[in-house]
Structure 1
Amino acid sequence: MAPEFTNWRDEQLAWRKTSVLFDQSHHMWNLNIKGPDALKLIRDTAVNSTEYFPLDAAKQYVAVNAEGHLIGDNILFRYEENEFQAVGMAATINWLQFHAETGGYDVELWKDAPSAMRAGDPRVYRYEVQGPGAIDVIREAVGHDVPTVKFFHGARMTIGGKQVRALRHGMAGEPGFEFVGPWSDREAVHTALIAAGERHGMVQVGGRAYLTNTLESGWLPRPLPAIYSSDSTAAHRQWLSATSPDARASLGGSFVSPNIEDYYFTPFDLGYGRIVKFDHDFIGRSALEDQVSDGTAEANKKVTLVWNAEDTAAAFGSIFDGGIGAKYFNLPLANYATYQYDRVESGDGGYVGRSNYVGYSANERSILSIAVVDAAYAEPGTEVTVLWGEQPVSSKVQVEAHQQIAIRATVQPAPLVAKARTEYRANTTASA
């Protein structure tokens, strides 16, 4: 995927103003699970309920280890009665594959790595059209009214003469659909979407802007998976290859602890309490029940931090001053490690949380970050401080000599965008 089709600022603005086309074919992992035990594998490893899971629908699959710490999440599609496809980051894809291969499940798997780690073409294309004008584009592409579909439910459509699977979706709080099909069909589908979009002001989004839409939608894409300690995950660690993404990841930022478990999250920390269902037995169930009963589930809250413009400008502008300045801000995504963990402090310097994903939003004209903070500091409007930069400076090649600085930030909800919090999940119509 091109880094930019126009420029990342206009591409960010377009998902709020008109409509955008995301090409999601190249950067995510795919794991296809097919067989009589496919649903059992999912039920045994997911905190989600699978009692309601119709064909062509999807769930945000969430997994934890036996101690109730988060492995991660992905999007799990149900394509047929006994066929599912998980799409997302490596951690949960590997977690599912490991249990499928070692747990005696009667399933067949195929896995597709991101394009940067794979020779040859992907097995499937994945396009998403979203934004206030998305339904107009899709209606043009399919040649008729778009069917009424609930959020995260699907339909079959024909685009460019090819049948596609369509999932009702929306990544920054705006309406849209995600389209999936065999790679051999991608050119016909892509051409038809582009042609329809030209008549409605659709903008193609490149890789730089794409990575920042989560800042507005409130999803944390890279929590450190809880696989690096405890006997419960030892077999999984031994199963992983030394070249896997989980083995080659880096930690960065001002939050530093000698205890790797201090970097873990629970599903409740990230707002997944609404997903956790105790209607089935699954890995980590008893630990999550304990977290609910002892109050741990309410201890932390996921929030958006809006960084102070004056402090951020001073930090960014320090590259023009003499001497050693602040850690450089890459724009639009400022993370400088696989797993970014910056220390969040109260006014008196006390630790109150971890800031994890940071970048610039042209829609908000601000640096934003997704953070998990003590519930007492989660009220919108609360002022906190983020420590930006490392002390001491680590040996990562992307980290230059710099001074660690404090930047004020204001706590706001996650998702930051009101429509993402209040409308698009509840909406049952495609045209909303």
Structure 2
Amino acid sequence: MGEADPDDVDERPVTAMRTANRREDFGGRRPGEYTHWIEEQLSWKETCYIGDWTFLANLRLTGPDALELLSDVSINSFDDYAVGEGKHLVQCNEEGDVVADGVIVREGDEEFIIHGVPSYWTAYHLEQGDYDASTEWRDTFNFQIQGPNSLQVLDEVADEAPRDVDFMHFGHIEIAGHDVRAVRFGMSGEVGFELQGPGEYGDEVWDAILEAGEEYGIRRLSVKTSAINQLESGIPTRIRDYVSAILHDEMTEYRDWLREHMHRDLITHPIEGSFDSDDITDWYRDPVELGWDWYMDEDDDFIGSDALKAKAEDPDRTLVTLEWNDDDVSDVYDSLFGSGETYKYMDMPHQQKRAMIADEVHKDGDQVGVATMRGYTYYFRKMLSLAVIDTEHAEPGTEVTVLWGEGNEPESPTVESHAQKEIDATVAATPYKKDRRRANLQEADD
């Protein structure tokens, strides 16, 4: 099979995604590794880290109808949504499958700041609809500072950390002479903030935090290990755990709009693994199986609401964490030494390409789920993955099997031929790591 153009998704989406082969360059402070990925992984449990998410799109939405637009295009309830509050924003297509997820903060009565892919879905529907609102694409920095020492670092660099800010809310602090929005959420499962402000001041703010954090053991977080905090925290993400639900025929117009407006490729990325189908929608996910349906208000009417509410009444699958068997994982690496076929290599600590590597999950010979975001957590000394699995097999302690790798005749010419490996796995709690994000900051130093 010849290699397809990875941008040719309109007629052959599965083929285009199977043959894509891209290690995405985010630019900025996102190298493969800073010091050592083991040291970086320990930072959010033992000290703290600073990480750069400046690559995310940033959209300012204002106007009398801004909240109405958000309500129409997002599954979230906006009842009692106060100024100073943030949300995990989730948006779906008419079939109830996830198009985008990201974060939003309410800066004023008629002013909202959206980070990530939901910026595009929102801006698109503003253009298509009749709303009294406007948008502005902005150049901003977006840094995460997370971990048990993050408050002490902010005390040093900003005179005082914003300890009166509740989880999923924000305040303002001054760093290096600049006003910075400090939003209390992140991916690590630990106390911390996202720090946001004008891009022109990003270098000064970054350098000031690093200097102040030196005595507190701060580490810079690289691409090589950044997804492990999401894996431990049970937070699924676009590309690694689901394909944006925009590749079927009904979304052609939106894809065309994206090609004109997107800041980086939001359409095509690799899909790999033992899971296979002729239908690209089988790589889509809905908020029910990802655990996000509780964001909804049953009285709300939004894009995909009818389909999604029907799914919520009787869920087929749910999100779990899988612990992979140590000996079976060791066999994968052992196959590199000695004679015989080799199994598909497992990048450490997780795959070093932006890809959805989806592998079949079996129980008693039947496929019961799909495993994604495989990664090694040094803190727990375990290979883990997220998985959507049939609800009847979602109880922690349930034994399943993951079919690792595409086999000797992979669908994609960019994937090497290898033997498949059955890996025993056990359903575990999600999140795998204790969630400390909601800790009382007034008592966090005690």
Q: Same fold (TM over 0.5)?
A: yes
Distance 1:431 1:30, change over 3 A: farther
Distance 1:56 1:318, change over 3 A: same
1:38 aligns with 2:89: no
Task: Check conservation: 2:321, 2:430, Cα contact below 8 A.
Answer: yes
Q: How does 1:305-320 map to 2 (within 5 A)?
A: 305-320=322-337
Distance 1:333 1:111, change over 3 A: farther
What letter matches 1:236 in structure 2? Y
* Aligned mate of 1:53, from 81, 93, 103: 81
1:68 aligns with 2:96: yes
- What does the per-residue CA deviation read over 1:44-77, in whole Å, with 9 as the maximum and x for residues that have no partner? 0111111222223210011111122222311112
Report SS of the residue matched to 1:212. Answer: helix
Aligned partners of 2:163 and 2:419: how far apart in 1?
A: 55
What letter matches 1:99 in structure 2? H
1:247 aligns with 2:263: no
Aligned to 2:12: none
1:304 aligns with 2:324: no
Distance 1:229 1:15, change over 3 A: same
1:156 aligns with 2:208: no
Report SS of the residue matched to 1:278. Answer: coil
Aligned to 1:118: none
Quote how far apart the aligned CAs of 1:230 are. Answer: 5.8
Aligned to 1:385: 401
Distance 1:16 1:257, change over 3 A: same
TM-score in terms of structure 1 length: 0.89
Unaligned runs of 5+ in 2: 1-28
1:93 aligns with 2:93: no
Report SS of the residue matched to 1:173. Answer: coil
Aligned to 1:17: 46
Task: Check conservation: 1:301, 1:375, Cα contact below 8 A.
Answer: yes
Identity percentage of aligned residues: 35
Aligned to 1:174: 190
Task: Check conservation: 1:148, 1:431, Cα contact below 8 A.
Answer: no
Task: Check conservation: 1:38, 1:83, Cα contact below 8 A.
Answer: yes
Report SS of the residue matched to 1:50. Answer: coil
Distance 1:29 1:324, change over 3 A: farther
Aligned to 2:441: 429
Task: Check conservation: 1:335, 1:357, Cα contact below 8 A.
Answer: no
Report SS of the residue matched to 1:368. Answer: strand
Q: How does 1:56-135 map to 2 (within 5 A)?
A: 56-88=84-116, 90=117, 92-111=118-137, 123-135=139-151
1:7 aligns with 2:36: yes
Quote how far apart the aligned CAs of 1:209 are. Answer: 1.5
1:277 aligns with 2:305: no
1:291 aligns with 2:311: yes
RMSD of aligned Cα (Å) = 2.1
* Aligned mate of 2:284, from 264, 268, 286: 264
Distance 1:333 1:145, change over 3 A: closer
1:364 aligns with 2:393: no
Task: Check conservation: 2:54, 2:142, Cα contact below 8 A.
Answer: yes
Aligned partners of 2:321 and 2:50: how far apart in 1?
A: 25
Report SS of the residue matched to 1:199. Answer: helix
TM-score in terms of structure 2 length: 0.86
Aligned to 2:206: 190
Aligned partners of 2:340 and 2:97: how far apart in 1?
A: 42
Aligned to 1:117: none
Distance 1:332 1:65, change over 3 A: same
Task: Check conservation: 2:180, 2:196, Cα contact below 8 A.
Answer: yes
- What does the per-residue CA deviation read over 1:127-172, in whole Å, with 9 as the maximum and x for residues that have no partner? 1111111111111221135331110100011112211101112422
Quote how far apart the aligned CAs of 1:228 are. Answer: 2.3
Aligned to 2:253: 235
Q: After the TM superposition, which of the residue ranges 354-363 and 318-327 deviates more from structure 2?
A: 318-327
Report SS of the residue matched to 2:184. Answer: strand
Unaligned runs of 5+ in 1: 113-122
Aligned length: 409
Quote how far apart the aligned CAs of 1:15 are. Answer: 0.8
Report SS of the residue matched to 2:267. Answer: helix
Report SS of the residue matched to 2:319. Answer: strand
Distance 1:396 1:241, change over 3 A: farther
Distance 1:230 1:286, change over 3 A: farther
What letter matches 1:339 in structure 2? M
1:402 aligns with 2:418: yes
What letter matches 2:349 in structure 1? P
Aligned partners of 2:326 and 2:421: how far apart in 1?
A: 14
Aligned partners of 2:123 and 2:341: how far apart in 1?
A: 46
Quote how far apart the aligned CAs of 1:111 are. Answer: 3.7
Q: After the TM superposition, which of the residue ranges 176-185 and 50-59 deviates more from structure 2?
A: 50-59
Aligned partners of 2:185 and 2:442: how far apart in 1?
A: 9
Q: After the TM superposition, which of the residue ranges 334-343 and 247-256 deviates more from structure 2?
A: 334-343
Quote how far apart the aligned CAs of 1:431 are. Answer: 4.8
